[in-house]
Chains A and B, each alone.
Chain A
């Protein structure tokens, strides 16, 4: 099948070994109190020192509970929000710096598919025009853009003659998400971030869309960043998984490895909450104690210690650094570091 889409495929400049995305120390605080009186009320530490490595043509799943910073991270990467700190390197080039890759260029290579399929489409635009908008911005003439947009609609399984002239409210949720995917593909990007893109769909529709995504990934040589709170979905589609808690990365590694041998107490608790479908391997619940802490002005040390069953005094004084515990598998927990002083450290 022809891969001749809209715009010429963005070049692979870095080569196969270069990770397509390398992020170091990403940080974003949202200050509280906008009035004259509330200047120093502190800040929400939405994203606090996040490192990400994404090899080409893989899928990195990002999981965590609501408020852990996953969506903010997605928006920071696409520069819809400006980060306070941190380096983002796309295919070997630093984003937003001289000599690196410009933001407009970045947006040709990196696209985002949103969660709310309805709110992410202009209600007054037909879907073929909505998809054509992006390429038009990058210089493609209108007629060609619409032609290619119809071609893309066919690729995502929506027949262009039936669906092209429709408006978003005339489509179902699953169909709208296909449109959103087509819109992202219209840029011929190399990396697509999917922010809870299937969360609002029924299970059967989810399966269809996930399969579509996997087919497209192979055909078009894409890399995915798949954000979700649904652990089963992440396991199905991802090669690697990253677990976030309160704006920080607590564990990252190959998906099967992390799911089978989670090293961080939080990951263990998350996974144990997923009921097992196998009666011979019943999951044992790892209890989570305490209340979820305040993301505003978090306390020093490990942020998970208030709920961690294995917490110790030393956890309050040292913020656990990321320690490698296997191939590509690292965890931010003092128990993984024998030199940390934690009694249960291995």
Chain B
């Protein structure tokens, strides 16, 4: 090959690092955003507290005490007070976190898997199949999510798995829609056509070329859904539809502590504050991740 070509092909800037991993770049950008990092740390703390509750928290969340009911925050031995049945609030909040995080995150996770699969398939297939699937989903969009969640959970009855099922059904159409939308966009790009030109099978093309470019946006959307899911899940428990007492769960605790607002309002407000903090941290973190991922192109 002629030297002229190799010489003139050299760019003006010389030493660029060899293999710049896209994800390392994203992580680096996230690290610079203080808000995102702080929120991530808070979430990690909450998660650890919930998971490691039996070892970190000394008190028993089920142990009731009729004389120590509704002690105010800062009481000796009960730093965050006690609830209406005399149970230690710190323990209730920590153990309650397990349930709340579970019923908040699980539906989004399951819906992410199912929604992505169906959506990517619909987006890649295009044409009539795509239309059929999306029209089917449109029926779900005719229902306001809260109403449908309550209706399904209400019909199925109380219980954690019923709540998770109801919420999953709410989120699947949303995630499918975004998966289909992003996949359709990517599919029409030339590099997918070039991949088709290579004679590769559809599955290979999806795996190698489409997934990497599509899962990112879907994932970001899903993280935004987690806060909605947590609020709804706790909301279901608040209505008496989710977790059964005496299991601790933030929404359920809000419900049972409602009558206590006249006696000890701040203790009554604590569980909701936890939901608020967790949900806000998720949202802020999702926003941060999204802007970090968008900057590269």
Residues of A within 8 A of B (CB): 1, 78, 80, 103-104, 107-108, 111-112, 114, 116, 119-126, 130, 133-134, 137-138, 154-155, 157-159, 162, 165-167, 169-172, 174-175, 178, 180, 183, 187, 208, 211-212, 215
Q: For residue B296, which residues in chain A have a CB less than 8 angstroms away from its CB?
A: 169
Instruction: Assess the B2–A111 pair: CB atoms within 8 A.
Output: no
- 0/1 string, B221-249, CB within 8 A of A gives 1: 00000000000000000000000000000
In the bound assembly, the distance between CA atoms of A172 and B18 in angstroms comes to 16
Instruction: Assess the B193–A80 pair: CB atoms within 8 A.
Output: yes
Given contacts A114-B190, A122-B191, contact A133 B198 (CB under 8 A): yes
Instruction: Assess the A137–B198 pair: CB atoms within 8 A.
Output: yes
Instruction: Assess the A212–B5 pair: CB atoms within 8 A.
Output: yes
In the bound assembly, the distance between CA atoms of A103 and B2 in angstroms comes to 36
Closest A residue to B14 by beta carbon equals A162
Given contacts A78-B197, A157-B9, contact A123 B208 (CB under 8 A): no
A-B contact count (CB 8 A): 92
Q: For residue A133, which residues in chain B have a CB less than 8 angstroms away from its CB?
A: 195, 198, 200, 208
In the bound assembly, the distance between CA atoms of A178 and B191 in angstroms comes to 15
In the bound assembly, the distance between CA atoms of A1 and B2 in angstroms comes to 12
Q: For residue A158, which residues in chain B have a CB less than 8 angstroms away from its CB?
A: 9
Given contacts A157-B6, A178-B9, contact A167 B20 (CB under 8 A): yes
Residues of B within 8 A of A (CB): 1-2, 5-6, 8-9, 11, 16, 18-20, 22, 189-191, 193-200, 204, 208-209, 212-213, 296-297
Instruction: Assess the A119–B2 pair: CB atoms within 8 A.
Output: no
In the bound assembly, the distance between CA atoms of A120 and B284 in angstroms comes to 34
Given contacts A122-B209, A137-B199, contact A165 B190 (CB under 8 A): no
Q: For residue B8, which residues in chain A have a CB less than 8 angstroms away from its CB?
A: 157, 208
Interface contacts beyond A1-B1, A119-B190, A175-B9: sample of 17 additional A-B pairs, CB < 8 Å, sorted by A: A80-B196, A104-B199, A112-B194, A114-B193, A120-B190, A122-B195, A122-B209, A123-B297, A125-B209, A133-B200, A134-B198, A157-B5, A157-B9, A167-B20, A208-B5, A208-B8, A215-B1
Instruction: Assess the B5–A169 pair: CB atoms within 8 A.
Output: no
- Which one of B22, B190, B208 lies within 8 Å of A167 (CB-CB)? B22
Instruction: Assess the A124–B213 pair: CB atoms within 8 A.
Output: yes
CB distance from B167 to the nearest CB of A (A): 32
Instruction: Assess the B11–A172 pair: CB atoms within 8 A.
Output: yes
In the bound assembly, the distance between CA atoms of A256 and B194 in angstroms comes to 33
Instruction: Assess the B194–A187 pair: CB atoms within 8 A.
Output: no
Closest A residue to B15 by beta carbon equals A162
In the bound assembly, the distance between CA atoms of A124 and B208 in angstroms comes to 10
Closest A residue to B7 by beta carbon equals A157
In the bound assembly, the distance between CA atoms of A126 and B19 in angstroms comes to 8
Report 7 cross-chain contacts, Cβ distance below 8 Å, ordered by A residue: A80-B197, A111-B197, A119-B190, A134-B200, A138-B199, A169-B296, A208-B8
Q: For residue A124, which residues in chain B have a CB less than 8 angstroms away from its CB?
A: 22, 212-213
Closest A residue to B201 by beta carbon equals A137
In the bound assembly, the distance between CA atoms of A112 and B213 in angstroms comes to 23
Q: For residue A208, which residues in chain B have a CB less than 8 angstroms away from its CB?
A: 5, 8-9
